[in-house]
């Protein structure tokens, strides 16, 4: 009987210890959550109290501008530095990681109809936010135009109604990825429209217009040729 009482006391002490430990952990977690909440609130206050100003004339900027509405100074965020270079670096990293065997297996077992690596590349292009300076916009449009092979765009448009082999299989044989080409086309158009709205009346916009018109004319010519 004494042995059972000792065992009971020991189990009671262990249970009490576990309860105390649990309460300590819960208290610490609650303190951490409260500190995080207070930090978020402070960050919000700091963000509201800070005011962006033009580095040239000091005019308050309450939105996102490509140029200062007061003095015309071209604005560049420090976060934009080498943005396009980083974009290209990540793009190359994804492409260099392409594994045709693994991509094929992934398509087979997952039931997907598109190439996994092409999906990653297309997502990377779609999610990229082009910096808002004129030079960066032009540089990115040059990059996009260079990745828009007019003959492949035309071939893709022709294959959309192709009867016979599956569209995905035919595209792989042709070396054409609908996902990637569509992503480049949409980003090219999106960047052009953004530039047109932001500084369409600026004399420097002419070079962007010429680049856009030239690429679209090239695609149209290739498409017309493919029809015949």
Contact 167, 160 (CB under 8 A): yes
Asked whether residue 7 carries a pLDDT value surpassing 80, the answer given is: no
- Is residue 155 within 8 Å of 174, Cβ to Cβ? yes
Write down the domain spans for the chain: 2-49, 51-77, 82-227
Could you read off the pLDDT of 63-84 as tens digits, one per residue?
Answer: 545 567 777 666 654 444 578 9
Mean pLDDT of 214-222: 93
Question: Whole-structure pTM over 0.85, yes or no?
Answer: no
Cα separation values, 146 from 5, 49, 140, 173, 205, Å: 84, 43, 10, 22, 19
CA 19 – CA 10 distance, rounded (Å)? 14
Strands (E), 55-214: 60-61
CB 115 within 8 A of CB 172: yes
Question: What pLDDT, in 10s, does the model give residues 163-193?
Answer: 444 455 555 555 568 889 999 999 999 999 9
Question: Which are the contacts of 106, defined by CB distance < 8 A and separation ≥ 6?
Answer: 112, 116
Task: Map tokens 């010429």 to a residue.
Answer: 210
CA-CA distance, 139 to 82, in Å (whole number)? 11
């Amino acid at each position: 009987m004494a042995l059972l009482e000792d065992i009971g006391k020991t189990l009671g002490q262990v249970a009490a210890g576990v309860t105390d430990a649990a309460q300590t952990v819960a208290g610490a977690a609650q303190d951490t959550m409260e500190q995080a909440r207070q930090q978020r609130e402070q960050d919000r206050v700091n963000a509201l109290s800070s005011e962006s100003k033009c580095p040239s004339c000091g005019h308050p900027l309450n939105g996102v501008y490509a140029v200062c509405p007061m003095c015309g100074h071209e604005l560049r965020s420090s976060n934009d530095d080498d943005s396009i270079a980083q974009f290209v670096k990540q793009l190359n990293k994804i492409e260099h990681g392409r594994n045709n065997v693994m991509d094929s297996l992934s398509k087979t077992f997952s039931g997907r109809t598109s190439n996994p690596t092409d999906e990653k590349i297309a997502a990377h292009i779609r999610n990229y936010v082009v910096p808002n300076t004129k030079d960066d916009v032009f540089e990115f449009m040059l990059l996009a135009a260079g990745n828009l092979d007019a003959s492949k765009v035309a071939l893709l448009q022709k294959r959309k109604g192709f009867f016979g082999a599956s569209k995905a299989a035919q595209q792989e044989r042709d070396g054409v990825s609908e996902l990637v080409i569509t992503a480049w086309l949409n980003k090219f158009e999106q960047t052009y429209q953004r530039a047109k709205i932001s500084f369409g009346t600026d004399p420097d916009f002419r070079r962007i217009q010429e680049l856009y018109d030239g690429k679209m004319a090239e695609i149209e010519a290739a498409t017309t040729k493919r029809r015949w």
